């Protein structure tokens, strides 16, 4: 059996660590793994599949030695510099950053939605934004059935999506709150590593950079990536993305207008059949998806499915997924699995 050589770039990060966990769960035909990070982590030991691996510093010559595939999750600048070097050496890169997502010759793939797109790659495949991945898993089957005319996204995004510094800001905020409430003399040494304001006990309507048009880059990513993945470049979409004090799993309220009339029963039927989607919606027993229950799963959970009575053919849904698994690591590994199965 052919065994492949795989690089994981950004292996020490939040998504990189989850990639290792997901890879351990799968039985992929990989004979050699090499884990890269920055010079800060070079020499650090990582446990993987009952072995200990030494993290290597990513350098320009790192891909000289015959890698077949690389999973990148080390940010846009690292991807822009090293992904082309890797692909020039015959290594297919699956990149989790936004660096290449909107390039015409780079497939932007969610395997359940547009899996066939991977076969048109030129050495780089992009993993979509976490919020986009979970949204399109629910939206694609609805688009096929009723034709989506307009989407309004409102997101409630967990701090893990902002990497290890985002997690630290919430942990520090919680620690600071409890110490100061129990001890009047407590002097806070708390400083923010990631967010411009405390995230504990707050909601920040600000994810990624602000753009000149008043939107954030995260909002722009959701709009453009949804259009690309659904193959509808002119689809009317607007978005407000918000960071909330939740450790893991993003929630989204999605308002949709369809071209066609629909029966609510049919919407349930379509979503129940959709690959990678679990309908969890029973208001009678107060059953709906919440981050603490969804974390650790690869499926996208859909709840609160109800008609929007304020417009013609309108629908509201609540969509929750583990942003580090399905929104990043698992989606990237699923792309890898699909690529390998092609050979």
Q: Which residues sit at the interface with ligand A2P, rule CB under 6 A?
A: 10-14, 16, 36-38, 40-41, 58, 74-75, 78, 163-164
Smallest gap, in angstroms, from Cβ of residue 141 to ligand A2P? 32
Choosing from 121, 137, 250, 251, which is the catalytic residue?
A: 250
141 closest CA partner among 300, 328, 311, 326:
300
Closest-by-Cβ residue to ligand A2P is 13
222: left (phi over 0), alpha (psi -120 to 50) or beta: alpha
Q: 16 vs 327, which CB is nearer to ligand A2P? A: 16
Q: 171 vs 269, which CB is nearer to ligand A2P? A: 171
CA distances from 7 to 3, 121, 164 (A): 13, 18, 21
Residues with Cβ < 8 Å from 218, sequence gap 6 or more?
Answer: 129, 131, 157, 207, 208, 239, 241
Smallest gap, in angstroms, from Cβ of residue 9 to ligand A2P? 6
Q: 278 vs 324, which CB is nearer to ligand A2P? A: 324
Choosing from 91, 130, 137, 251, which is the catalytic residue?
A: 130
Instruction: Confirm whether 297 is a catalytic residue.
Output: no
Residue whose token pair is 């020039």: 88
User: Buried b / exposed e across 1-36, counting CB within 10 Å, b at 16+?
Assistant: eeebbbbbbbbbbbbbbbbbebbeeeeeebeebbbb
Instruction: Confirm whether 250 is a catalytic residue.
Output: yes
Smallest gap, in angstroms, from Cβ of residue 37 to ligand A2P? 3
The tokens describing 91, both together, are 């290594």
Smallest gap, in angstroms, from Cβ of residue 12 to ligand A2P? 4
Smallest gap, in angstroms, from Cβ of residue 160 to ligand A2P? 9
CB contact at 8 A, 103 and 110? no
The tokens describing 263, both together, are 């029966």
227 closest CA partner among 113, 329, 308, 316:
113
Strand partners, 156: 242, 251
Residues with Cβ < 8 Å from 116, sequence gap 6 or more?
Answer: none
Smallest gap, in angstroms, from Cβ of residue 283 to ligand A2P? 37
Q: 161 vs 173, which CB is nearer to ligand A2P? A: 161
Q: 13 vs 107, which CB is nearer to ligand A2P? A: 13
Q: 71 vs 251, which CB is nearer to ligand A2P? A: 71
Residues that are catalytic: 130, 250
């Amino acid at each position: 059996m052919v065994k492949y050589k795989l690089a994981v770039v950004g292996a020490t990060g939040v998504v990189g660590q989850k990639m290792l966990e997901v890879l351990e769960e799968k039985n992929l035909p990989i004979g050699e793994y090499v884990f890269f990070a920055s010079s800060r982590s070079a020499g650090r030991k990582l446990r993987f599949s009952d072995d200990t691996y030494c993290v290597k510093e990513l350098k320009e010559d790192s891909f000289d030695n015959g890698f077949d595939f690389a999973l990148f999750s080390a940010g846009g600048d690292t991807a822009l510099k090293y992904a082309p070097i890797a692909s020039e050496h015959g290594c297919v890169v699956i990149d989790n950053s936004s660096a290449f997502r909107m390039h015409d010759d780079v497939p932007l793939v969610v395997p359940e939605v547009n899996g066939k797109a991977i076969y048109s790659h030129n050495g780089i495949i992009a993993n979509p934004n976490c919020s986009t991945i979970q949204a399109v898993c629910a939206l694609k089957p609805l688009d096929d059935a009723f034709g989506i005319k307009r989407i309004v996204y409102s997101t409630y995004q967990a701090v893990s999506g902002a990497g290890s510094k985002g997690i630290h800001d919430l942990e520090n905020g919680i620690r600071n709150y409890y110490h100061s409430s129990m001890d009047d003399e407590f002097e806070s040494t708390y400083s923010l590593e990631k967010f411009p304001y405390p995230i504990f006990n707050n909601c920040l309507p600000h994810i990624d950079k602000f753009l000149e048009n008043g939107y954030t880059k995260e909002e722009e990513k959701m709009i453009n990536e949804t259009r690309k993945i659904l193959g509808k470049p002119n689809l009317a979409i607007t978005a407000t993305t918000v960071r909330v004090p939740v450790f893991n799993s993003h929630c989204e309220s999605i308002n949709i207008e369809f071209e066609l009339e629909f029966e609510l029963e049919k919407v349930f039927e379509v979503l129940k059949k959709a690959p990678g989607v679990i309908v969890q919606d029973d208001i009678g027993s107060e059953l709906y998806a919440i981050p603490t229950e969804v974390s650790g799963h690869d499926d996208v959970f859909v709840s609160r499915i109800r008609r929007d009575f304020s417009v013609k053919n309108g629908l509201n849904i609540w969509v929750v997924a583990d942003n580090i698994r399905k929104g990043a690591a698992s989606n990237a590994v699923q792309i890898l699995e699909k690529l390998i199965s092609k050979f």
